[in-house]
A and B are shown apart, each in its own frame.
Chain A
Amino acid sequence: MTTFVSFLCIMFGGALGAVCRYFTQELVIRWTKLPGWVSIFFVNIVGSFLIGLAMASLLQKTTDLQHLGRLSLELHTRPLQEGLAIMAVGFCGAYTTFSSFSLDNYFLVHGKYVQLALNMLGSLVGAFLAVWAGWSLSQMVFA
């Protein structure tokens, strides 16, 4: 797969992911009436679960993900899978966000320490558990 096509795939996935994030945030805020940072917390957990699910099912064997930038070189025998993996990186990568998370942390530093601790530790541990759950589930189903 050429670099150009992989960039197209990632742009398509990224646009879709960003729009989905926008709608998810709106829904969470409108339905739950919780403070705004909960919507980003929710989005990050769900996106981490999805990327664990997607990458484990697409890569089949536990490829060393530390070669993520070279994804296109590793999977060159299976063009469709490679395109899907890159689109998953685009979608889940754009669906979750770190910059708004940091901005929320910054606002919470000013006085709301309990919520700050909940957001920071909860996101870190929760996203890790979510990606692990997605990865294990996918390996159980597709193995």
Chain B
Amino acid sequence: MEKFMIVLCVGCGGGLGAAFRHLIVELVHGFVGWPSFVAVMIVNVLGSFLIGVVFVSIEGTLQRNGKSRLCQVPFSRRFEDRTWWPDGDPTIPPVEQFQFDLHQKLLTAFVITGFLGGTTTFSLFSLLSLNLIQAGTWWWALVNGFGTLLLGLAAVIGGFHVGEKLVPRH
């Protein structure tokens, strides 16, 4: 039953996310007139920023056993020492990290795995890079590849900082 609810949340979020991506690509490419690899880059960087904000917001408000973490260890400058840093392997999917609280798990499934996962895309990014090379403009393909990678990483770091400001801390 829990599994079914998670899959339902992921599906709903994924549908909305894909529609949101199409909307942004239509606006940036069809309406403003910029090339579509720029539109996909904007979508990917925006989604990376939001995943940082949402991850810290969800992790910051509740502990893994479901208790509030409003009174916590002193604030640290190192990210690894802060309360929301995952135990064990941090790169497992966020849904697996929130083991003890169903609300947290469903929210993560809807927002992170579903919506943001559906909004951002790697396949269109590589397809458009291939298309740029086929068109003979390989320098734009390089700019697209490394630019999206580095901007996405920077956006996650920015998102983490913004998310920490949103979470109440005492």
Contact = CB atoms under 8 A, between A and B. Distances in A.
Contact of B121 (A12, A22, A97, A103): A97
A83 interface: no
A98 B152 contact: yes
B18 A14 contact: yes
B120 A11 contact: no
Interface in B29-54: 29-30, 35-37, 39-40, 44, 47-48, 50-52
A14 B14 contact: yes
B126 A48 contact: yes
A66 interface: yes
A65 B48 contact: no
A123 B35 CA distance: 23
Q: How many of chain A's residues touch chain B, expressed as a range? A: 35 or more
State the main secondary structure of chain A at its contact with B: helix
A98 to B, nearest CB: 4
Interface string A77-105: 00000000000011011111111111111
A70 interface: yes
A135 B133 CA distance: 13
Contact of A51 (B12, B109, B127): B127
A115 B45 CA distance: 22
Q: How many of chain B's residues touch chain A, expressed as a range? A: 35 or more
B130 A135 contact: yes
B101 interface: no
Contacts of B29: 67-70
A110 B79 contact: yes
25 contacts: A14-B15, A15-B14, A15-B118, A18-B13, A18-B114, A22-B10, A68-B29, A68-B124, A69-B28, A89-B124, A90-B22, A92-B123, A93-B18, A94-B17, A94-B117, A98-B44, A99-B120, A100-B51, A100-B93, A101-B122, A102-B155, A102-B156, A103-B94, A103-B156, A106-B157
Query: Which are the 7 A-B pairs with shortest beta-carbon distances?
Result: A18-B14, A14-B18, A36-B92, A69-B29, A15-B15, A98-B120, A96-B122
